[in-house]
Amino acid sequence: MAAVAALYDEFKSLDVEVLSLSTDSRFVHQIWQREELSKMVDGGVPFPMLSDGGGKIGSIYGVYDEAAGVDIRGRFIIDPDFVIRAMEVLTPEVGRNPAELLRQVKAFQHVARTGEVTPSGWEPGDTTLSPGPDLVGRVWEVWKP
């Protein structure tokens, strides 16, 4: 969460709203913000930290572990029409990659804006593909991994 907070200005420049959610109470979030997060990121986490007591939201997204009573760590990219475009769920011992999250947001925005598709590892300015019958069997001519 702190790593996403460190890139928050870049997410905001892309008109992305960042929210965090856990089964912790707002009081635990407040303490965690004051005692931990504010020491990792100047000013702490600048986006809302929401409480999912009971795991109702986590259950909807498939990340609530009922036996443990916690939401498993994950991230979701949800488009302006509230469609989940991407998700990643990892157990706590492996951290998520906020730079990859940012890359994927840029790719989804490019696709929405242009109708082109972005190949694996695409970065802004890289080659894109225009889907259609002329591309079938010829992707190798345009894109190399």
- The C-alpha atoms of residue 16 and residue 66 are separated, in whole angstroms, by 30
Supply the CATH classification number for the domain 2-94.
Answer: 3.40.30.10
Instruction: List b or e across 48-57, with b for residues whose CB sees 16 or more CB atoms inside 10 angstroms.
Output: ebeebeebeb
pLDDT range class, residue 13, cuts 50, 70, 90: very high
Q: What is the pLDDT of residues 122-144, one digit of tens each?
A: 999 999 998 888 888 888 888 88
Amino acid letter at 51? S
Tell me the pairing of strands 70-71 and 74-78.
unpaired
Q: What is the pLDDT of residues 48-63, one digit of tens each?
A: 999 999 999 999 999 9
- The C-alpha atoms of residue 64 and residue 105 are separated, in whole angstroms, by 24
Domain boundaries of the chain, sorted by first residue: 2-94
Q: How many CB atoms lie within 10 A of CB 4?
A: 19
Of 43 and 134, the structure prediction assigns the larger pLDDT to 43
Phi-psi region of 55 (alpha: psi -120 to 50; beta: other; left: phi over 0): left
Q: What is the pLDDT of residues 62-92, one digit of tens each?
A: 999 999 999 999 999 999 999 999 999 998 8
pTM (predicted TM-score): 0.89
